[in-house]
Amino acid sequence: MPDPLLSVRDFSVVYDVTPPVEAVKNVSLELQRGEILGLAGESGCGKTTLAYGVQRLLRAPAVITGGSVVFHDASDGDVDINGLSPEQMQRFRWDKVSMVFQGAMNALNPVATIGSQLDDVFVVHRPGMSKQARRRECEELLEIVAVGRERYRSYPHELSGGMRQRVMIAMALALRPQLMVMDEPTTALDVLVQREILRQISELRHEFGFSVIFITHDLPLLLEISDRIAIMREGEIVELAASRDIWERPQHDYTKKLLSSFPRLTGARGVLTR
């Protein structure tokens, strides 16, 4: 039986410039509880705008022009995200939905320790926690993402790119959210570190039961990690199917072109599609 966590209906975003740009056009999708949903498409197709929009993180000139976003909370029932006040939305983010931003590994404060930056999440969202309890939680998070509790007092420049990215994942995991949105989380990492982080995301998903929206232009990567994949083009979802079906039985011409745009390591030589 389907068990939806997030329901998006006829969601649209326009950038109010001259002329106006329809960045997201009447998008509808459902994210299942515990699912990894990949969101793929070329740069500029609206992937990040959609992800920011459903969390109300967009800034002017972006304007949400229509649609609904309902979060099916495991404990509090259905939540209309568009109807939350700014104060309610601030409490909702990180507690229910967290995000690993694009280029996140460079988002750490260079003059603050890793531990203090993790600690800030609990100071803001769990004000009743003692300093000792916060320290224990931070060290446990560093262990969970395989950075190690000994890095609690380290500064970002003392960590590799992959370790900094793991710290950002730890920060997103801190409050045990039900949904984690990941925007190009492995960009600028070498392929071996990418694979380690992808494996860890999959393991953490199984351990903690959260859902993931994984955004990237790298379709082969999504085929490996995702349960389902949504293909976006010019602000619209043109195909949404199980990963295996996307790989073996793509229906839309654009999906076929995306798949054929990546060279294969084996088989006959073909023409690279652009």
The domain locations on the chain are 4-260
Please check whether residue 71 is in contact with residue 97, taking contact to mean a CB–CB distance below 8 angstroms: yes
Strands 36-40 and 62-73: unpaired
Angle in degrees, CA 14, 246, 254, rounded to 5: 50
pLDDT at 118: 96
72 beta partners: 78
Closest listed residue to residue 95, CA positions, set 6, 173, 183, 202: 173
Residue 103 has pLDDT above 80, yes or no: no
d(CA 25, CA 14): 8
> How many percent of the chain have pLDDT more than 70?
94
Please check whether residue 66 is in contact with residue 11, taking contact to mean a CB–CB distance below 8 angstroms: yes
Residue 269 has pLDDT above 70, yes or no: no
Three-class DSSP category at 265: coil
Strands 21-32 and 77-80: unpaired
d(CA 127, CA 133): 11
Please classify residue 110 by burial: count the beta carbons closer than 10 Å to its beta carbon, then call 0-12 exposed, 13-18 middle and 19+ buried: exposed
Three-class DSSP category at 109: coil
Average pLDDT over residues 46-73: 95
Please check whether residue 54 is in contact with residue 48, taking contact to mean a CB–CB distance below 8 angstroms: no
Cis-peptide, bond into residue 177, ω within 30° of zero: no
pLDDT at 218: 84
pLDDT in tens, 112-164: 999 999 999 999 999 999 999 999 999 999 999 999 999 999 999 999 888 99
Question: Distance between the two ends of the chain, CA-based, in angstroms?
Answer: 40
Q: For residue 28, how many other CB atoms are within 10 A of its CB?
A: 13
Residue 102 has pLDDT above 80, yes or no: no
Q: Give the confidence band of 189 by pLDDT, cuts at 50, 70, 90.
A: confident
d(CA 37, CA 252): 18
Residues 6+ apart with CB under 8 A from 81: 54, 55, 56, 69, 70, 71, 89, 92
**The domain over range 4-260 is classified in CATH as 3.40.50.1820:** no
Please check whether residue 133 is in contact with residue 164, taking contact to mean a CB–CB distance below 8 angstroms: no
d(CA 36, CA 203): 12
φ, ψ for residue 83 (rounded to 5)?
-95, 0
Q: What are the DSSP calls for 20-57, one per residue? A: -EEEEEEEEEEEETT-EEEEE-STTSSHHHHHHHHTT-
